[in-house]
Structure 1
Amino acid sequence: MKEIGEIKSNIYKIAAVTDRGQRLNKLISPMYEEKANEMDELIKALKDFNFEISEKSLSGEWELIFSNVELFRSSPFFLAIEKALNDQAKSNLFFKLHQLQVGSFGISTIGRIAQKIDFEKKEFISSFDTTIFGLTTIPILGWFKLLPTFGGRVITLASDLVLRNNLLDMNLQKTKVSKVDGLKKIPLFSELLMDRWYPVKEVWNKLPWNKESPNCQVSIIYLDEEMRIMQDMYGSIFIYIRPSISLLSSNSISNN
């Protein structure tokens, strides 16, 4: 049996060479299937080791380094949608359409993804950085950018966080877009839309097709002091590590 350190080292390597797993996305191209199979075997090997799941070991900040599905699906916002649809085929179709719309022609790309778990406040905070118009030019003829690059940090707050055995349970509350250092705010819209919380739960509950409040659950399938591996209701994998540089400052996630 391989040692934990060797297994985790190989996980890091696959996460790096597959661009956090996004080169395994079959919507883009069914490439590197051998890497997907290798990652499955590595995760299976880690699960065979004994590990403790506790609020203390889960608490703090984490950064996503790998997923075998779209990265944005790690957010409680999309996990709640997945649970509400209650149908894997419908969920996959919804996420496929979302990916096509936001990712077409490279209009929007996802940067770093962070989560902060706070059992004292019973809060689960998730964020991802997004850039808009990273590279825009006239195909073949163009040699300069047509549009400047904009972007922001999408922050989602879930409350009523509870650990039940190996399950994290939470209720989606609100979301906002904040400024990211190095990225320009979106002109015109930034003053109206950015740096303010939007009450997702309140809107969700008023929609007639939603039968219950936005709730989501994720399973913990491996945990130690530096790595956390999660699984959603249909088995999609999300691997996190402790970040070397914090993404979630207290100012950016203020509830005010």
Structure 2
Amino acid sequence: MNIVVLVKQVPDSGADRNLRSDDNTVDRGSANNVINEMDEYAIEEALKIKEAHGGEVTILTMGPEKATESIRKALSMGPDKAVHVVDGALHGSCAVATSKVLAAALQKLNADLILCGSESTDGRVQVLPHMLAERLGVAALTGARKLTVDGSSLTAERQTEEGYEVVSASTPAVVSVWDTINEPRYPSFKGIMAAKKKPVETLSLADLGIAGNEVGFDGATSTVLEHSKRPPRSGGEKIIDEGEGGIKLVEYLATEKFV
């Protein structure tokens, strides 16, 4: 089975994240960039499928030159090779343009199964799997907490707030996963060393037949007009009980419309 895993490099969600002052995009240059957490679960699921059914696992990333760091880390977990879509014109691309670029790359890779995280920690819009499936004309099994592969048949338990739904489709298909699906493996020293020699192919917009004005700021369907820091948390209001503490508390709760 030819499996492609989408991997995105994002600013570490455990550290401060900022937008650039010049164009209101995510400031990746000064951030501690890591693999998007959900994508690590997608990588692990791909490796488990390969171990059970055979095949090849390819990492696909769209991002700046610096994203190579995350590509190598992803390869150290066990995938066979990677493809990196990198082009200066991509800066400022919206989700619609991103899906167009990734779909063009996926068509070149001829994948049987496309795996990705259900969301990215820097965007959290959860639309890319659906957009890719629409552009490629294949099924989308989204939000999977469990995935079963039987030949060309896929069955997923789709996680919901109430429980889960059982959905199925045939390959080729796009499957997005939650962090409940598995436990990603840690790269071994052998895997880290092997990753340095694994092939990483780079593709430009010209290689994909996409014009520069179709992506980036020129092709964006949405844009951030302005931004500001979240205001500091206030100290709150202290109520001292001098015999009327209960009354004052209820009055405060009424003012804040809690009662």
Q: TM-score range by the shorter chain?
A: under 0.3
Normalising to structure 1: TM-score of the pair? 0.26
Answer with 1 or 2: which has the greater Rg: 2
Normalising to structure 2: TM-score of the pair? 0.26
Question: Which is richer in strand?
Answer: 1
Structure number with greater CO (CA < 8 Å, separation at least 6) is 2
